[in-house]
Structures are given as C-alpha cells and as structure tokens.
C-alpha cells in the first residue's frame, strides 16, 4: 500500500515542475520532498520523474502512476471530510408501541435530528411487553410503551382509554360464539379481551390475529370481528363502539436510560408530544354502535 504522503510529494513535484516549488506548495523543505519521492521510487522499484529536465517531468512509469496517485489522494481527502462530519455518529435507540409513532412524534424526531446532526434515531416498534423486556436488557435508550400501570423509573405516564370496537358497517348482530380480532399471544389487549369475555360468560373464538396495529384495525373495519383497542388509535377509522363498551384504561409510559444529555432532551420532547396526544384524546371517540 502506498503512503499517501509519498504520493502527495510525487504529484506536487510533477504539478510544480520541480522540487523547490513542490516544497513551497507542501510547506516542507526541499530535502524532505526529495527524500519522500526517493522512498516512493524505492517502493515501486522504478524512477518516477526525469530529474535532468527543466521543468521536471514524469518518467514513463511516473505517467502510469500519476492518475492513480491523484485518485488515491482525492479519495483520502473525501474520506477525511466524511469522517470529520459528525452527522449520524451517535445512535439513540428507541422502542415504541406502534400507535405512539404518530405524525407529531415524527415531526419531533425531525426537529431533533436537524438540531442534533450527530444523532441517528434507531426506532423499533412491537408489543409493549417485549419492548419493556428489551429496555431492561439494555437494548433501548428510550422506551414508550403501554402498561396497566407505571413502574418505578417511569419518566412520565399518560392515560390510555380503552374500548371495544366493531366495523362501522357491521349489522350489529354478531354470532355466538363472538369472533374476536386480536394481537398475538403476549399482547396486553388480548389478555384483557379474554378476561372480559370470561367475566361476561361469552362464547368466543379468535377469528383473526394480526401482528401490527394496522392489521388489527383494518380487520375490524372489514367486519372480521370485534376487538379491544386504544380509543386514540381508532380516530379517523371506519369503526364504532361495540356494546361491550369500555374497559379500565391503560397508561402510556416513557422510560429513559439517561438522566441528562441528548437522550434525555429527546425524551422530554416525546413527553410533550404524548401529553398533547392525551389532551386531544380527552374528547369522544367513535360513536357507539347498535346493541348486540
């Protein structure tokens, strides 16, 4: 591998037409330039310049090397500029319940990224229980999840109203057993659905299980069954309240691994977004449907 300093001396000698001017360009002594070029010639085993002429010109071997030398030096300068720019060098790992990843939250992330160019936001969504476990295992710097109640260390907590929903176009006369649309095993809402059906003495079966909130919402809209959902997540969807009504609310909690610094700064912004979401969600959701 060629030493870039030696290549730079070679290119400077050719461009300047001599050793003296090359030394001036590189702000070194003429003897240093001569030594560096001699070392490069020793490395390649050939003379690279014709020292007898004025100006100094490249030898046949030097002509072959010159273009490559320029490209090597240009790539080195480009790499240096790239590494000197701190953009994206600090990863902030965030775990979020899917329905908390909203347009206002993305707008916050955009403002933060514009202000903190060194930050790279790595966001993962999933089931809250899984995200909470991964946070405890050190996989996330910030986690925003749904829980029955806040645990120790919670930065902020916001109410999450829950209710049963069906598609807006459903006739309202569901068969027995009642078809349910659920999340996979381990989801908080799934367990609450089964518990409620048991208390009511309802016959039920899982008609559809979706791995994402979007899948579940679309399935309920299509009439595949009824489901227990966060009221905030149903706004703007073709849904209405089912006769089973509401359930005890959950909470949206934020946990942060650092008490100060950029991670904490971003978490404070997320708290503000969730506070605004909770305030906006205090109104009525989709209207109740006909009794079933």
Residue spans of alpha helices (H) in 46-119: 60-84, 103-115
Q: What is the pLDDT of residues 57-74, one digit of tens each?
A: 999 999 999 999 999 998
Other C-beta atoms lying within 10 Å of the C-beta of residue 64 = 14
Mean pLDDT of 69-96: 83
- 225 and 219 Cβ atoms separated by less than 8 Å: yes
Domains 90-159+252-280 and 161-247 agree in fold: yes
Place of tokens 């991670």: 263
Say how far apart CA 151 and CA 236 lie, in whole Å.
31
Class of domain 161-247: alpha beta
**Cα separations in angstroms, 50 against 12, 23, 40, 64:** 14, 17, 14, 14
pLDDT above 90: residue 32: yes
Phi-psi sector, 221: left (phi>0), alpha (psi -120 to 50), beta = alpha
| pLDDT for the residue numbered 138 | 94
Say how far apart CA 83 and CA 241 lie, in whole Å.
55
Q: How far apart are the first and last CA of the chain?
A: 79
Class of domain 4-84: mainly alpha
Say how far apart CA 146 and CA 150 lie, in whole Å.
9
Q: Where are the domains of the chain?
A: 4-84, 90-159+252-280, 161-247
Phi-psi sector, 149: left (phi>0), alpha (psi -120 to 50), beta = beta
- 56 and 19 Cβ atoms separated by less than 8 Å: yes
CATH (residue range 90-159+252-280): 3.40.190.10
Q: What is the pLDDT of residues 122-135, one digit of tens each?
A: 999 988 989 999 99
| pLDDT for the residue numbered 292 | 36
Q: What is the pLDDT of residues 222-266, one digit of tens each?
A: 999 999 999 999 989 999 999 999 999 899 999 998 888 999 999
Phi-psi sector, 89: left (phi>0), alpha (psi -120 to 50), beta = alpha
pLDDT above 80: residue 89: no
Nearest CA to 144 among 60, 254, 247, 48? 254
Question: Max CA-CA distance within the chain?
Answer: 104
- The b-or-e profile of 228-257 (16+ CB within 10 A means b, else e) is bbbbbbbeebebbbbebeebeebbbbbbbe
| pLDDT for the residue numbered 291 | 40
């Amino acid at each position: 591998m060629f030493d870039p300093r030696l290549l730079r001396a070679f290119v400077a000698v050719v461009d300047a037409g001599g050793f003296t001017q090359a030394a001036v360009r590189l702000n070194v002594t003429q003897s240093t330039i001569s030594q560096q070029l001699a070392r490069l010639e020793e490395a390649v085993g050939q003379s690279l310049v014709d020292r007898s002429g004025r100006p100094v010109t490249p030898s046949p071997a030097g002509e072959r090397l010159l273009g490559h030398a320029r490209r090597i030096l240009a790539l080195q300068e480009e790499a240096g500029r790239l590494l000197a720019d701190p953009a994206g060098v600090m990863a902030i790992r965030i775990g979020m319940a899917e329905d908390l990843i909203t347009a206002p939250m993305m707008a916050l992330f955009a403002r933060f990224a514009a202000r903190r160019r060194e930050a790279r936001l790595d966001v993962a969504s999933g089931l809250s229980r899984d995200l909470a476990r991964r946070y405890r295992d050190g996989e996330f710097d910030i986690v925003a999840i749904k829980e029955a109640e806040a645990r120790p260390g919670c930065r902020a907590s916001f109410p999450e109203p829950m209710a049963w929903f069906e598609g807006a176009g459903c006739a309202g006369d569901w068969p027995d057993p009642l078809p349910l649309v659920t999340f996979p095993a381990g989801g908080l809402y799934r367990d609450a659905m089964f518990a409620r059906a048991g208390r009511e003495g309802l016959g039920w079966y899982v008609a559809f299980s979706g791995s994402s909130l979007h899948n579940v919402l679309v399935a309920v809209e299509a009439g595949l069954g009824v489901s227990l959902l966060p009221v905030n997540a149903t706004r703007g969807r073709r849904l209405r309240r089912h006769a089973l009504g509401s359930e005890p609310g959950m909470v949206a909690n934020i946990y942060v691994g650092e008490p100060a610094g950029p991670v904490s700064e971003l978490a404070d912004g997320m708290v503000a977004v969730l506070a605004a979401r909770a305030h906006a969600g205090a109104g009525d959701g989709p209207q109740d449907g006909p009794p079933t």
